[in-house]
Structure 1
Amino acid sequence: MKNPAIQNDFSYYRRTISRNRINNMHLDSESEVNNEMANRMSLFYAEATPMLKTLSDATTKFVSENKTLPIENTTDCLSTMASVCKVMLETPEYKSRFTNDETLLFCMRVMVGVIILYDHVHPVGAFAKTSKIDMKGCIKVLKEQPPNNVEGLLNALRYTTRHLNDESASKQIRTMLQVQ
């Protein structure tokens, strides 16, 4: 989401390679991406959050292919991970252990990532009142961080989740996520 120009850059690369082939200007074939791989890369980068989309698809596929495994096992694991990250970010004694800001940012990214995965896998999503994720607490923790660190994460919650605008979603959570 933070680097939307990558799709344009890759398209430019593909056009340049194609033009060079037409003009018989062969580059080192080892550094050239073959057509099939280039097509797959284009589809990957076409997503707003390509890695999160891949993880979401893989998790959804895992849940649908393993019918004998209760979906609660997966969603409980994801909600526990979100809760652990939230506690690490909001509790002063844990937070003070992190000497590097990158560690805090990593915890925030993991928390948002597992919330989005939960929302994609769980039938009613992460924003419902029955959700096992404390969404109000997670959003509050994010909003307490420096804005330049969390705006992309809040946008990920706003725009890459499935159930935020559902009837079952808490109106208070929707209000907390509104752009101001």
Structure 2
Amino acid sequence: MGNLLKVLNSPDLEQGPNFFLDFENAHPSENERAVWDNVAQVLSRAEQVLAALQAYQGAGPHIREAISHPSDEEQQHKAWEAVCPLVSKLKSFYEFSLQLESALHNLLTVLTAPPLSPTQHLEREQALAKQFAEILHFTLQFDELKMTNPAIQNDFSYYRRTLSRMRMRSAKSLCDVDVTNEMANRMSLFYAEATPMLKTLSDTTSRFVAENKNLRLENTTDCLCTMAGVCKVMLEMPEYRGRFASPETESFCLRVMVGVIILYDHVHPVGAFARTSKIDMKGCIRVLKEQPAANVEALMNALRYTTRHINDESSCKQIRSMLQ
């Protein structure tokens, strides 16, 4: 399919770029290789993290027994031994979010660098754009799983409540979990978020803009809105969808489109929902609504509840109505 292809020039598409971005077969050029290798090393763990989160069962029965029998030392010990390995998993998820944060920063540095336009970057660094998309795809999958698993918050809350008391007892009562108070505080803030990975990426993108004061804001926001436009056009045009080798690429594009909209809304001063937004929000929402409801409800909720400007006075009322 080649790199980023300008395959249509339809007058009916008044907003957004008319591009096909090969999310399935993009390979890094020599110029991309150093950054690509760094990000690829992080992304190589993504499927493992998702599988571990999907299999996360929690220590609910042990915790309930321990709470119901506070003087029964055996029940307390069983609950503690059940929670500790789970906290190790939660720590690994949190540490992976920090790696994603660094990877996203590296990608934004390249994809927003002047003097190239966002379109030129997507054309020339397609493999890096694909990695950016993979980070967003993972992020929305992770947050969808986390939101439907209350055991995560319950386990970690029990761990924090019990930690000080257990440390006062015999060392044999402790399992080998290296979670300092500082680490526990950071993890607590992370898991308190309904969508912790999205919050991490949004904060990273906002911090990237704040730290790069010599870089025009439009370099970042145009990169995000161009990616949203690419995904929208690829999904709504049969000529483009027909190029997908796998049916999973459609859901991939949907998640990426929603992800970049959320990042744009957190970074742009008036957000993605204002009439002046460069993102065709009506078109993006229409594309979402055309998909089977079971596939997009979580994505619609992400737009409703994790964006920053949806309820602003400057936001288009028609767009808000479409999301209701």
Please report the TM-score for the alignment, with normalisation by the length of structure 1: 0.88
Query: CA 1:167 to 1:87, structure 2 compared with 1: closer, same or farther past 3 Å?
Result: same
CA-to-aligned-CA distance 1:66-98 (integer Å, 9 cap, x gap): 222111111100000101111122122322333
1:66 aligned residue: 212
Query: CA 1:14 to 1:104, structure 2 compared with 1: closer, same or farther past 3 Å?
Result: farther
* Residue type of the alignment partner of 2:281: M
The one of 140, 161, 173 aligned to 1:26 = 173
* Residue type of the alignment partner of 1:126: A
Query: CA 1:101 to 1:19, structure 2 compared with 1: closer, same or farther past 3 Å?
Result: farther
1:83 aligned residue: 229
Residue 7 (1) aligns with residue 153 (2): yes
- SS, match of residue 94 in structure 1: helix
The one of 115, 118, 121 aligned to 2:267 = 121
Structure 1: runs of 5+ lacking an equivalent: none
The one of 159, 162, 172 aligned to 2:305 = 159
* Residue type of the alignment partner of 1:168: S
Query: CA 1:146 to 1:22, structure 2 compared with 1: closer, same or farther past 3 Å?
Result: farther
1:54 aligned residue: 200
Give every structure 1 segment of 4 or more consecutive aligned residues whose post-TM-superposition deviation is greater than 4 Å.
16-19
Q: What's the CA shift for 1:16? A: 4.9
Please report the TM-score for the alignment, with normalisation by the length of structure 2: 0.51
> In terms of Rg, which structure is larger?
2
1:174 aligned residue: 320
The one of 254, 260, 278 aligned to 1:132 = 278
- Following the alignment from structure 1 to structure 2, what is the Cα–Cα distance between the partners of residues 73 and 146? 34
1:39 aligned residue: 185
* Residue type of the alignment partner of 1:26: S
Q: What's the CA shift for 1:26? A: 3.5
Residue 106 (1) aligns with residue 239 (2): no
Q: What's the CA shift for 1:43? A: 0.6
Q: What's the CA shift for 1:100? A: 3.5
- Following the alignment from structure 1 to structure 2, what is the Cα–Cα distance between the partners of residues 81 and 168? 23
Structure 2: runs of 5+ lacking an equivalent: 1-142
Aligned residues: 177
* Residue type of the alignment partner of 1:21: R
Q: What's the CA shift for 1:99? A: 4.5
* Residue type of the alignment partner of 1:12: Y
2:29 aligned residue: none
- SS, match of residue 130 in structure 1: coil
Task: Name which of structure 1's ranges 2-11 and 73-82 shifts more when overlaid on structure 2.
Answer: 2-11
Percentage identity across aligned positions? 75
CA-to-aligned-CA distance 1:99-136 (integer Å, 9 cap, x gap): 44432222111111110111111111111111110000
